[in-house]
Amino acid sequence: MSRHICSHIFQISDSLWYLPISLANGRVTLQQSGFSVVTETDFGLSVQYDWEQYMVVKVPASFMGRMCGMCGNFNGKKDDDLTIPSGSLAASIPALGKSWRVPGLPGEAYCTDDSEPKCPANSHFDSCACPATCENPSPPADCKTKCVASCTCNDGFLWSGNTCVPKNQCGCIYSNGGQKRYLQAGESIWADATCSTKCTCNSGQVVCEKASCPDGSECSIVEGIRGCHPVSHAICNIYGDPHYNTFNNRTYNFQGTCTYTVAQSLKRDIISVLIVNRSSCKTKSLIYTVKVQQEGVENVILTDFGLIVTYDMVYHVTITVPSSYHGKTCGLCGNFNGNKNDDFLLPDGKETKDVKTFGAAWKVPVPGVVCDDGCSGDVCPKCPENKKLVFEKDCSIIINPLGPFAACHNVINPESYFRDCVYDICMSDGDNNTICNSIAAYMTDCQNFGVTVKHWRTPTFCRKCTLKCPANSHYEICAGSCDTPCPGLTELIKCNIQTCFEGCMCDAGFFNNGTGCVKADQYSREIK
């Protein structure tokens, strides 16, 4: 195995830095010295580490008798160096090491797993080197008396971070708040915690300008590094009689007929109610950019902070929230903390195991409306066994391992959808629309997760339930009305995060004007 010259990248705060580094107005510096990195402070501490197995720690005489740890107490005596934090002597060397172990950190971290050095492109190994760098292209005259074994850039090249580059491709020194760091040519960094200012090393100069994360990403810290990372989402599904599948993927049935808070933010400075008309928690609502459009059979509400609500006006509702709301929601859709076992939290933060109690707690009073919180336990109606066998046949397309939804089975477990389908059909006494809507609920949720669903409607099964498409359009199992907007509506009609919806697509040569499919010149005449 060969040792690669890592030359060397550090994580400081929430970003990666190349050497050399200066912190706290020069009170702490990190520099490369051969195969090692040397950290020095203004009070005399020096730490040298070769990234593999060799470390040297130096402290000034002023620290004599004031030290502790694996390197001893620096009191001039050898006999009491093996002292543990309690002040007593360790019974053994392993006990000494265990006593000074720092909790919460990995036991080992290696830059390499190697033996002999392997130098990067445009460089060579030198047993007595004075490597020229972009920051210091001319080493001092006495360098050879203090030389170290290292990789040295070939003639015409200089060290830039961890590579050797031509002199005219050197990077920049970026200074900010008493800190200095090296940027390679073309390297960009975020200069703030909100990813609103980006600084780039361009032709030897650091240029900073306003910027933002692109659509589909957010400024966040992932694995310790701040940047524009893809936004993940959680979806709460509500369908049928009704059945709930929370943000944490917990399924339950709650048959209340009142108005309820389904999903709400715990924060006091953002919108509090997603799909009900009044808040049941004491939070403040603000005004956000909201767009409403139709995609397939779904009416879609989109916000500029990542909330998406879809409703087919009959049977199925989905609420989508971005990952920034992780652990910050409440209501019938759960708390979005990744734990399905504690979703039944009441507005006061206490937990209940009873579905009816949970649902009733999130009821929103509406004057003049008569409603109830449904049933629970043995009081709820049940499907007779003889009917259940008949309706199971209609719903079996959902769980058929060779059927049109087979590709979704590993993504969304179909069992609960199958049971809910049978129950809803039974409660509707075999209504054809209920059969089709129940199956379509599973189809929509599969499409929300990007699964390609095959055509499942046939001339003898749910064909009559297929929506009737208006003039100049046709049915598609995977359609998006935002795919063909009229010229001028591109900014107004935007696709949401779902891949597609079952619905109508404009025919070739026609465009969606928000209410139907028209020729492009017809839209222009309407505008005029």
Spatial distance between the Cα atoms of 189 and 506, rounded to a whole number of angstroms: 44
Quote the pLDDT of residue 295: 65
pLDDT at 498 over 70: no
Quote the pLDDT of residue 493: 47
Q: How many CB atoms lie within 10 A of CB 419?
A: 19
pLDDT at 379 over 70: yes
Range in 271-285, 363-377, 468-482 with the lowest mean pLDDT: 271-285
pLDDT at 459 over 90: no
> 320 and 234 in contact (C-beta within 8 Å)?
yes
Instruction: Determine the average pLDDT of the residues in 339-345.
Output: 92
> Tokens 């893809």 appear where?
230
Q: Return the SS3 of 84.
A: coil
Look at 2 and 481; give whichever has higher pLDDT: 481
Quote the pLDDT of residue 107: 46
Hey, CA dihedral for 518, 524, 525, 527, is it positive or negative?
A: positive
String of DSSP letters for 182-236:
EE-TT-EEE-STTS-EEEEEETTEEEEEE--PPTTEEEEEETTEEEEEEPPEEEE
The rounded percent of the chain whose pLDDT value lies above 90 is: 29
Spatial distance between the Cα atoms of 262 and 274, rounded to a whole number of angstroms: 7
Look at 198 and 364; give whichever has higher pLDDT: 198
> 111 and 8 in contact (C-beta within 8 Å)?
yes
pLDDT at 293 over 80: no
Range in 251-255, 275-279, 390-394 with the lowest mean pLDDT: 275-279
Place 244 in a pLDDT band, splitting at 50, 70 and 90. Answer: very high
Place 196 in a pLDDT band, splitting at 50, 70 and 90. Answer: very high
Specify the pairing of strand 511-512 against strand 501-506. unpaired
Quote the pLDDT of residue 316: 86
Q: Return the SS3 of 152.
A: strand
Which of the given ranges, 352-356, 493-497, 507-511, 521-525, has the highest pLDDT on average? 352-356
Quote the pLDDT of residue 266: 63
Dump pLDDT digits (tens) for 364-378: 887 887 888 887 777
Spatial distance between the Cα atoms of 35 and 117, rounded to a whole number of angstroms: 9
Dump pLDDT digits (tens) for 12-26: 878 888 888 888 888
Burial class (CB in 10 A: 0-12, 13-18, 19+), 322: middle
| Averaged pLDDT of the chain | 80
Instruction: Determine the average pLDDT of the residues in 61-83.
Output: 91
Quote the pLDDT of residue 497: 47
Work out the widest C-alpha separation in the chain, in whole angstroms: 98
Quote the pLDDT of residue 223: 77
pLDDT at 294 over 70: no
> 297 and 287 in contact (C-beta within 8 Å)?
no
pLDDT at 496 over 60: no
Place 304 in a pLDDT band, splitting at 50, 70 and 90. Answer: confident
> Tokens 């200074």 appear where?
175
Range in 80-89, 167-176, 279-288, 333-342 with the lowest mean pLDDT: 279-288
Spatial distance between the Cα atoms of 316 and 445, rounded to a whole number of angstroms: 10
pLDDT at 112 over 50: no
Query: How far is the CA of 42 from the CAs of 20, 29, 66, 81, in angstroms?
Result: 16, 9, 18, 27
Q: Alpha helices of 428-519 — where are they, by DSSP H?
A: 432-448
Instruction: Determine the average pLDDT of the residues in 310-322.
Output: 83
CA atoms within 13 A on the CB side of 199: 17
Quote the pLDDT of residue 248: 92
Dump pLDDT digits (tens) for 219-242: 888 777 888 887 778 889 998 878
Burial class (CB in 10 A: 0-12, 13-18, 19+), 363: middle
Quote the pLDDT of residue 473: 85
Place 525 in a pLDDT band, splitting at 50, 70 and 90. Answer: very low
Quote the pLDDT of residue 465: 55
Q: Return the SS3 of 522.
A: helix
Look at 144 and 178; give whichever has higher pLDDT: 178
Burial class (CB in 10 A: 0-12, 13-18, 19+), 364: middle
